[in-house]
Amino acid sequence: MSALDLVKSMMVAASGMKAQSGRMRVIAENIANSDSTSKVPGGDPYRRKVVTFEDKLNRELGVQTVSLSKPVYDTSDFQLKYMPGHPGADANGYVKMPNVNALVETMDMREAQRSYEANLNLIQASRRMISQTIDILRK
């Protein structure tokens, strides 16, 4: 494995870190808005966003990297909660609640965090190997 291969692996891992960081931002937005309802009767509340990943060819380095696609809306149904005094309640007193499940978001966040850490560990290992290679060449 050459030093250039190690640099390439660092670039791929860095793209993974960037993608997971963006994923964590969207998850945090979902969690922050898990109670955001409409202020108009019968209106729609916050709709959960989900992200997908796509691979991209980095032509300069000749490697496949990962990037985050534009977030899309989760089309699952909203839950209804009986809250007759709420400004967003319909004629029957029900309010549409966001389609955000805190447990799902928490698990997605943990998965994104672990992936981010795995990419970080790969970068650190590559840096150590490059440093050791340079030390050997100096002798």
pLDDT digits (tens, 9 = 90+) for 36-76: 999 999 899 999 999 999 998 888 878 899 999 999 999 99
Whether the pLDDT of residue 15 is over 70: the answer is: yes
Per-residue pLDDT at 5: 84
CA–CA dist 34, 71 (Å, integer):
17
Per-residue pLDDT at 1: 58
Per-residue pLDDT at 125: 94
Full domain range(s) for residue 82? 3-138
Contact by Cβ (8 Å): 87, 41: yes
Contact by Cβ (8 Å): 120, 128: no
Per-residue pLDDT at 120: 97
pLDDT digits (tens, 9 = 90+) for 72-130: 999 999 999 999 999 999 999 999 999 999 999 999 999 999 999 999 999 999 999 98
Domain tally, the chain: 1
Residue 31 sits at the vertex; the CA angle it makes with 21 and 56, to the nearest 5 degrees, is 30
